[in-house]
Amino acid sequence: MKVRSGVPTLATVPSSAEWLPARPVKFQGSGLARAALRLAGWRVVFDGLPARQGVLIVYPHTSNWDFPLGVLTKWTLGIPVSFWGKDSLFKVPVFGAWVRWLGGIPVDRFSARGVVGDMAARFRAARQADEFLWLALAPEGTRKYQDHWRSGFYAMTVQAEVPLGLVAFDYATREVRVNSFLKLSGDAAADMAVIAGHFSQVRGLRHEQAAPIRIRQG
């Protein structure tokens, strides 16, 4: 593996990310959660996952409402998806147990390998053991406007060699779309162009706060 502009890349790669058509991993979700979303005027588009391990990026993240929408989506689909949380949250009595029950994974910011390296290693271990592990995160990192995405999701996905799922929280159509998956090439600029094209028409609740779809190089 090589590193270009601070982002890991593969020595020999396709020119850009490739779409993954197969959806062999299926789930049975909660009818109650599905009904709650329907009453709120939302629908979820999903036809399975391409593998037992992978990363889901959710865009755009512009409102506090995105979290309950994400939890209801998770229950609707029946996917035991995980998400990152500050390790201090898991030490709070009762609340920490609740966050873990929701799928939270504590983040050790002082790990020698770093958060990305730790998670990539966890993905590799899960693949070797044939364990299910999908991690969902918002690459913007905040609801407030930023001029770029954080690059951790990209480095982690390339290092772990897992699929990347593109999850659209589209308040314009009131759809959550979990049906587009990529195999990243390792060429960050080319891959981000594919991702930007996919999300170009998606609108958040406060779309003026959505970050431009690019990662900071260097």
Tokens of 205: 């609740």
For residues 57 and 9, what is the distance between their CA atoms, to the nearest angstrom? 19
- 30-204 domain in CATH 3.40.50? yes
Q: What is the mean pLDDT of residues 17-34?
A: 84
Q: Which residue has the higher pLDDT, 102 or 152?
A: 152
DSSP states along 137-157: E-TT-SSS--SSB-SHHHHHH
Q: What is the mean pLDDT of residues 120-138?
A: 94
For residues 80 and 151, what is the distance between their CA atoms, to the nearest angstrom? 24
Each residue's pLDDT tens digit, 44-80: 999 899 999 999 999 999 999 998 999 999 999 998 9
How high is the pLDDT of residue 8? 41
How high is the pLDDT of residue 104? 74
pLDDT at 128 > cutoff 90: yes
Q: With contact defined as beta carbons under 8 Å apart, do 103 and 81 qualify?
A: yes
How high is the pLDDT of residue 6? 40
Which sequence spans correspond to the domains of the chain?
A: 30-204
